[in-house]
Amino acid sequence: MRRAIKYLFICLCLAPLLFGVIYSLGYSLGLAGLLSDGFTWDYWIGLINSGNLMRSTIYTIGLGACSLIIAVMAALVVSWKSGRYGVDHRSSISKSKAEVLILLPLLFAPVTAAFCWYQILSPGGFIARASFHLGLIHETSEFPRLVNDDLGIGIVICHVFLILPVFSYLFTATAHKHRLHRLYLQSNTLGASSWYFFKKVYTPMLLQKNMRVLWLYLIFLLGTYEVPLLLGGSRSQTFSVFIADKLTRFNLGDIPSGYCMAIWYTVLITVMTALYLRWQKSILW
Amino acid sequence: MASPYIRLLAILLLLPVVSLSCGSEVAQSPSENVPADWSTIATQAQGSTVHMMMWQGDRLINKYMQDYVTPRLSELYGIELIVTDGQGNQVVNRLMAELEANRKTSDLDIVWINGETFYQLRQIDALYGPFVQKLPHADLIDLNNPFISMDFQQAIDGYECPWGNVQMIMIYDSLQTSDLPQDMTEWSRWVQDNPGRFTWSNDFTGMTLLKSWLMSLADDPSVFYGEFSEDLYTTYSKQLWARIENMRPYLWNEGRSFPASLAQLHQLYVNGEVDMTMSNNDSEVDNKISQGVFPTTSRAYVPAMGTIQNSHYLGIPRLSDNKVGALQVINFLLSPEAQYEKSQSAVWGDGTVLDRDRLSPDWQAKWTGLAQRSHAPPREEISKRALQEPAPEYMIRLFEDFRKRIIEQ
């Protein structure tokens, strides 16, 4: 039975993945495709010289890291508050209305969330219009650019909106599972302040227990498509937007560049994952 | 001895190697024994199923296909038409994948294409043809009209059949905007007078505007007709980028970003962030007003410098295994009945490719009485300012240089 499952895993998961990687590599080196003229490094050299490889790498990792850090920090606060540390002595997970509300964003598909945030944050959006009617700005165009901007502020906001509920629930459940409330009461009895407990025990413990999930979410964020497509600027493109752009534009000669980026993305994720596993192993030992 | 898992993986990994080795070979077409005479084609097409891939992003177009074309084909020929969503690059990717996989037959029998898609499909030899002359209704088309017989300066050579004809228009709100720019010089001035109120999309439509500007910079836009000329492109694109660079601080978002798609530009227009939007479909303003998307005070115009007019076409994939069915469907779509229905503003508002002089007196009279659209100038009027699509390489170069010289600077 176990052997059958392994075969199935190889056939259904591993082989198609490797097939795709090898095919992409072949395409990026001019070995595949109807218009290929044989082996060449030209597409790789062109991609590197254009600066797009470096730009997309920095932009994508930067956006992913910012979104993750902000979401984690906010989720720690939400879980701390919902656990009612320092408020009363209830150790159960709070079932308050606020907790239900914070899970609502899980109902949004990324593309819907991106559209909503566009409507909220754009200079013609709800906040800009409200600011105009309140006399805070003289024209809606004076509203600061939060979507389609170079820094990707709208993308980060939308990502945080989408992943905050997951982390909040995860941290709350982890804290509950590891009985952190009891630990909090003990440390409190011994004279530690709430802030000290939050900083020295609560945060490190939750991060350590959920490091693998956080890592997976970072990888998920590096690969998102709809949100950067709708809310991103034109100057820098994330990996996914760049790849889709090259694979679907009018120049068939651009397709290999898209595959080059896809291969680079795969290598980057693989190296990052290997480093992460090595780091985890070193912690365990 | 290697473990059985590794052996299995190795065998599976050989598949892409085999695939790569035959990826460049051209797949063989299914039997191309399409009968020469139309009556045999019609008989063989009777009762068949035809798969068509087309853009389904417009409610009116979808309604035309679902509520008119599909039932009429079933009623007249017993043909079941199955329409799936996909446009331009999706069509190319789909057919290219089929060819690369050495498939014997295609999943598609008809594709809705134009310009750059036709250029790409011809590059990879994915289209069946020539077939247009086989169609009885092809006699009603004026194939000497360059706006019909040339697609991005590439002769259609019977490999795609004209279906409709459109021209690029600029859309504005008549309550907000009155002083409309007519050429690139006026545009630069207009943008400076109205800072932050104009932009274009970084897609096909936006590049069509840039093409119109590029051509208008030459004293005679017809120098762009014919094959791609590097010298011509270099000379006029330098002027174009210089003018756009000057215009840039006054563009929407100070020219730091551009809407990724026309839908986003429409959204900016509807939100009141910009004063103008645009479309490659000259009936778009009437369509969008009737759908309640644009304000009713929206109007369309074609600047004096001219805009690009082009036709859209229907092609048959080379690997289609129901070419006779596809021919029958395309012939019906070319019929005066189907073209007339499509021309009505309330239905689709698409320009016809039929030469009215070749129609029967009854149909001519019917067409003369066709209600005109109310928010865009008449087609006959804007046609006087029509420019032909230049060769596809201009579009490819504009895309590349727009990114390098404007977006990334």
Chain center to CA of B111: 11
Q: Concatenate the DSSP letters of all residues of A166-220 into one string.
A: HHHHHHHHHHHHTTHHHHHHHHHHTT--HHHHIIIIIHHHHHHHTHHHHHHHHHH
Contact between residue A220 and residue B66 where contact means Cβ atoms under 8 Å apart: no
Q: How far apart are CA B290 and CA B137, in angstroms?
A: 32
Which residue, chain included where needed, has tokens 């469907």? B329
Contact between residue B57 and residue B88 where contact means Cβ atoms under 8 Å apart: no
Classified as helix, coil or strand, B54 is strand
pLDDT by residue for chain B (409 residues), tens only, comes to 456 666 666 666 566 555 555 444 445 555 467 898 999 999 999 999 999 999 988 888 999 999 999 999 999 999 999 999 988 888 998 999 899 888 999 999 999 998 889 999 999 999 999 999 999 999 999 988 999 999 989 999 999 999 999 999 999 999 988 889 999 999 999 999 999 999 999 988 999 999 999 999 999 999 999 999 999 999 999 999 999 999 999 999 899 889 988 988 999 999 888 999 999 989 889 989 988 999 999 999 999 999 999 899 999 999 999 999 999 999 999 999 999 999 988 888 899 999 989 999 999 999 888 877 889 999 889 999 999 999 989 998 999 999 889 988 7
Give residues 34 to 53 of A whose Cβ lies within 8 Å of B. Answer: 34-36, 50-51
Task: Please tell me if residue B18 touches chain A, with a CB cutoff of 8 Å.
Answer: no
Q: How far apart are CA A214 and CA A123, in angstroms?
A: 33
Question: CA nearest B119 in A: which residue?
Answer: A250
Task: Please tell me if residue A124 touches chain B, with a CB cutoff of 8 Å.
Answer: yes
Q: What is the pLDDT of residues A100-136, one digit of tens each?
A: 777 788 888 999 999 999 999 988 889 998 998 998 8
C-alpha dihedral over B197, B199, B205, B206, to 10 degrees?
160
Residues contacting residue A175 through CB under 8 Å, at least 6 positions apart: A79, A83, A181, A202, A206
Q: Concatenate the DSSP letters of all residues of B315-360 into one string.
A: E-BTT-S-HHHHHHHHHHHTSHHHHHHHHSTTTT-PBP-B-GGGS-
Q: How far apart are CA B22 and CA B133, in angstroms?
A: 34
pLDDT attached to residue A91: 45
Query: Which one of A122, A229, A248 has the shortest CB-CB distance to B89?
Result: A248
To the nearest whole Å, the CA of A279 is away from the closest chain B CA by 28
Query: Which one of A32, A35, A124 has the shortest CB-CB distance to B273?
Result: A124
Q: Report DSSP state, residue A134.
A: T
* Average pLDDT of chain A, as a whole number: 87
Residue type for B64, please?
Answer: Y
Tokens at A86, concatenated: 């320092």
Q: Who wins on pLDDT, B9 or A246? A: A246
User: Cβ atoms within 10 A of the Cβ of A179, count?
Assistant: 11
Q: What is the pLDDT of residues A29-83, one digit of tens each?
A: 999 888 788 899 999 999 999 999 999 999 999 999 999 999 999 999 988 888 7
Question: CA nearest B95 in A: which residue?
Answer: A34
Give residues 119 to 148 of B whose Cβ lies within 8 Å of A. Answer: 119-120, 123-124
CATH code of the region A51-284: 1.10.3720.10
Q: How far apart are CA B3 and CA B315, in angstroms?
A: 51
Q: How far apart are CA B404 and CA B409, in angstroms?
A: 7
Give residues 83 to 122 of A whose Cβ lies within 8 Å of B. Answer: 118, 122
**Phi, psi for A189 (deg, rounded to 5):** -65, -35
Chain center to CA of A135: 36
Tokens at A226, concatenated: 């709809």
CB within 8 Å: A18 and B15: no
Edge-to-edge strands, sheet with B298-301? B276-279, B169-173, B298-301
pLDDT attached to residue B58: 83
CB within 8 Å: B399 and A251: yes
CB within 8 Å: B124 and A229: no
Among residues A164, A149, A199, A157, the alpha carbon closest in space to that of A66 is found at A157
CB contacts < 8 A, A to B, total: 119
Question: CA nearest B6 in A: which residue?
Answer: A10
Classified as helix, coil or strand, A260 is helix
Give the pLDDT band of residue A252 (cuts 50, 70, 90): confident
How much is the ipTM here? 0.70
Q: How far apart are CA B201 and CA A139, in angstroms?
A: 23
Among residues A37, A53, A55, A33, the alpha carbon closest in space to that of A255 is found at A33
Query: Which one of B23, B116, B257 has the shortest CB-CB distance to A234?
Result: B257
pLDDT attached to residue A98: 64
Q: Report DSSP state, residue B373.
A: P
Contact between residue A219 and residue A269 where contact means Cβ atoms under 8 Å apart: yes
Look at domain B169-308+386-407 and name its CATH class: alpha beta
pLDDT attached to residue A8: 82
Q: How far apart are CA A166 and CA B9, in angstroms?
A: 36
Query: Which one of A34, A248, A251 has the shortest CB-CB distance to B99?
Result: A34
Q: Is the CATH number of domain B31-166+310-378 3.40.50.9100?
A: no
Contact between residue B352 and residue B165 where contact means Cβ atoms under 8 Å apart: yes
Within chain B, all domains assigned CATH 3.40.190.10 are found at: 31-166+310-378, 169-308+386-407
Within chain A, all domains assigned CATH 1.10.3720.10 are found at: 51-284
Residues contacting residue A37 through CB under 8 Å, at least 6 positions apart: A30
Q: Tell whether omega for the bond before A105 is within 30 degrees of 0, i.e. cis.
A: no
CB within 8 Å: A249 and B256: no
- Is residue A268 classed exposed, middle or buried when 0-12, 13-18 and 19+ CB atoms within 10 A define those classes? middle
Q: Choose, out of A251, A254, A255, A263, the residue to mutate when testing the contact with B (most B CBs < 10 Å).
A: A251
C-alpha dihedral over A102, A108, A110, A111, to 10 degrees?
-140
Residues contacting residue A3 through CB under 8 Å, at least 6 positions apart: none
> If you compute the radius of gyration of chain B from its CA atoms, what whole number of angstroms results?
23
> If you compute the radius of gyration of chain A from its CA atoms, what whole number of angstroms results?
23
Question: CA nearest B265 in A: which residue?
Answer: A230
Task: Please tell me if residue A247 touches chain B, with a CB cutoff of 8 Å.
Answer: yes
